[in-house]
Structure 1
Amino acid sequence: MAAVAAHGGDYLRRFVAETEWYNEVVLSAVAPGNSWRGLPHPVQSWIRNCVGGYLLYFISGFLWCFVIYYWKRHAYIPKDAVPTNEAMRKQIIVASKAMPFYCALPTLSEYMIESGWTRCFFNISEVGVPMYFVNLALYLIFVEFGIYWMHRELHDIKPLYKYLHATHHIYNKENTLSPFAGLAFHPVDGILQAIPHVFALFIFPTHFRTHIALLFLEAVWTTNIHDCIHGKVWPVMGAGYHTIHHTTYRHNYGHYTIWMDWMFGTLREPVDILKNE
C-alpha cells in the first residue's frame, strides 16, 4: 500500500502501538502487575484475543439464552425445542477447548498487518469515506463467497466432514441447537471458516479496526444463527435458514446473507419446510 511504502516503519508502528494499547487495557485488567509485560508482543496479543473471545462467547451466549429460554421463552421457541442444560454444557466444553486455537487467527492477522504484508490502512481519512465503504463492501462480498465455499467443501469433501465438520453437526435438531453451539467446532474447522477474513487483507485495502471488529463479530453472529429463531429479515441468513442447514445438511451454507446460496442453487427457504409438513 502507498502509505506503507511512503512511511515504512513509522507507519507500521501505528498498528503496533494500537495493539499494544489493546493489550495494555485487557491484560492489565485480568492480570494486574507487570508479569505479562515480559512476554513477546504476539503472545500478549494472543492472550488478549483469548480473553476477548471467551468474554464475547459467554456474555452473548448466556444473555441470549436468558432471553429466549427463560424471559421470552413462550414468545420465541416451543417448549419441545428448548435444548437441555446438558446439551448446552457439552457445547460450551467443545467451544472452550477450541477458543485458544480460534484466537490464533486474529493474532496471526495482526502480526501480518504489523509487518506490512497486507493492504491494511490505519485511518479512514487515508482513503476517504466513499472508498472506505466501497472497499468494505468488496471485503464483505469476498468473505461471504469464501465462507460459503469453505463451508460447502467441508460437507462435500468426505474426510473433511468426517474428521472436522461432523463435530459441529451432531447438533441436528432444534432441541439440540443453542447459541452455545455457534462456536462448538473442531478448532481447525472454525479457523478454516474464518480464514477468508485474513485472505481478504491481501486483496482489498482494509481499515485495521474494522477488520478486527468484523473478526470478533463472527462470535456474536454465529451465536445468533444457532438460536432457531427465524428473524425473517431478507436477505439475512438468520437462524431459520441455518436451522434448515443443520437438519438437511445440503442447504443454506451461507454466512451473513442468503445470496451465495441463491446464486449457487443451495437455498432453501424456511417457508418451504412449512409447505412440506
Structure 2
Amino acid sequence: MEDKYLQFFLDETSLYNDIVLGHLLPSSWWVSLPRFFQTWLRNYIAGTLLYFISGFLWCFYIYYLKRNLYLPKDAIPTTKAMLLQIYVAMKAMPWYCALPSVSEYMVENGWTKCFASICDVGWFAYIISLIAYFVVVEFGIYWMHRELHDIKPLYKYLHATHHIYNKQNTLSPFAGLAFHPLDGILQAVPHVIALFIIPTHFRSHVALLFLEAIWTANIHDCIHGKIWPIMGAGYHTIHHTSYRHNYGHYTIWMDWMLGTLRDPEEDVFEKVK
C-alpha cells in the first residue's frame, strides 16, 4: 500500500519533468539520465527561467514604466551592479537546485510526512498544516539568517557575498539570489526540515520553494509595501544597511518577539532627527 501511495509522488515529479524538459529539450538529451539528474536539470532550467523572467519584469516595471514614482533617481542601481548580481546568482544556481532535487528524492522514498493530495486530509487540515509549515520555515530562516551574521566565519566566508549590496542604489530584484551557494542553501533548508515535522502537501512545498525566487526579488527592490505584518522590502533594506536588524523572511513576527525589529518609518524619523 505504501509503495502504491509513493507512486503518486513519482507520477507527479515525472509530470513536472515532462512539462519542463519535454517542452524545452530533445528527449534524447534527458530521458536516459538517472531520475535524480532529470529532476536536477528540470529544477535548474525552471529556476533560471523564473529568476530571469521575474527579475526582468520587475526591473522593467519599477525602473522604466514607473521610473521615479517608487524610487528617487539616485536610488536606482546601475546596470553594472545588476549584472554583478546576475553573475553571482547564476554561479550559485546549479547548487541551489540540488536542494529541491534532494527534497523530492526524500519525498518519493517516503522519508517525509508529505501527502500527495488535499483530498487525503481535507481542506481544514491542509490549511492548518500550511500555516504550521510557514511557522516552522519562518522560525528556521530567522535563526539561520541571524547565525550567518552572528557567527563570524559564516559571515566572512558565506554571507558577506550577499552583503556587498549595502546601499539602496546597489539593491535590485536580481540581488535576491546573489548569495554564496552554501549560504543560499542554508537559508532554504528550513523548507526541507519542515517536511519531517509537518504533514505537508507535496505540490505546495514544490511551489513554495520556487516562489522563493519571486519573494526574494520582491524584498530586494527597496519599495516599502507597508503591508503589516509582512517583511517587505522596506524592512529588508534596513537589514542591508544596518546588518543587525530585520532577519525575518516572510513576516516581522520573529524580529518583533526577539527585539531585532527596526521599522522603516521609525528609521526615517531617526535620520531626520
Relative to the length of structure 2, the TM-score reads: 0.98
Query: Which amino acid is 2:189 matched to?
Result: I
User: CA-to-partner distance for each residue in 1:117-139, whole Å, 9 max, x for gaps?
Assistant: 00000011111110101111011
Equivalent of 1:43 in 12, 33, 37: 37
2:226 is aligned, of 225, 232, 251, to 232
SS in 2 for 1:185: coil
Structure 1 position 25, deviation (Å)? 1.5
In the TM superposition, structure 1's runs of 4+ consecutive aligned residues that sit over 4 Å from their partners are none
Q: CA deviation at 1:34?
A: 2.5
Could you say which residue in structure 1 is the equivalent of 2:126? 132
Q: Aligned letter for 1:176?
A: T
1:195 pairs with one of 178, 189, 193: 189
Percent pairwise identity:
69
The one-letter amino acid paired with 1:187 is P
**Residue of structure 2 in register with 1:180 after alignment:** 174
Counterpart selection for 1:18 from 5, 12, 18? 12
Match of 1:121 in 2: 115
1:73 is paired with a residue of what secondary structure? coil
- Of 154, 167, 175, 1:160 maps to 154
Q: Deviations over 1:97-146 (max 9, x none)?
A: 10010010000000000000000000111111101011110110010000
Shift of 1:181: 0.3
CA distance in 2, matches of 1:234, 1:87: 30
Among residues 147, 169, 172, which one is paired with 2:163 in the alignment?
169
Q: 1:74 aligns with which of 68, 72, 76?
A: 68
Letter in 1 for 2:29: S
- C-alpha distance after superposition, 1:22-48 (max 9, x if no partner): 111111222123231000011000000
Q: What is the CA–CA distance in structure 2 between the aligned matches of 1:197 and 1:33, rounded to whole Å?
A: 31
Instruction: Give the Cα–Cα distance (whole angstroms) in 1 for the partners of residues 267 and 259 of structure 2.
Output: 17
For 1:3, the equivalent position in structure 2 comes to: none
Which runs of 5 or more structure 1 residues have no equivalent in the other structure? 1-6
Distance across 1 between alignment mates of 2:133 and 2:14: 26
SS at match of 1:140: helix
Matched residue, 2:90: 96
Equivalence for 1:55:
49
Q: Secondary structure at the match of 1:195?
A: helix
The equivalent residue for 1:206 is: 200
Partner residue, 1:150: 144
Task: For 1:149, give the aligned amino acid.
Answer: W
Alpha-carbon distance between aligned partners in 1 of 2:95 and 2:251, rounded to the nearest angstrom: 26
- TM-score, normalization by structure 1: 0.97
TM-superposed CA distance for 1:16, in Å, is 0.7
What is the number of residues matched between the two proteins?
Answer: 271
Structure 2, gaps ≥5 residues long: none
1: CA distance, partners of 2:249 / 2:22: 35
Instruction: Name the CA distance, whole Å, in 1 between partners of 2:268 and 2:243.
Output: 18
Deviations along 1:179-215, whole A, 9 cap, x unmatched? 0000000000000000000000001100000000010
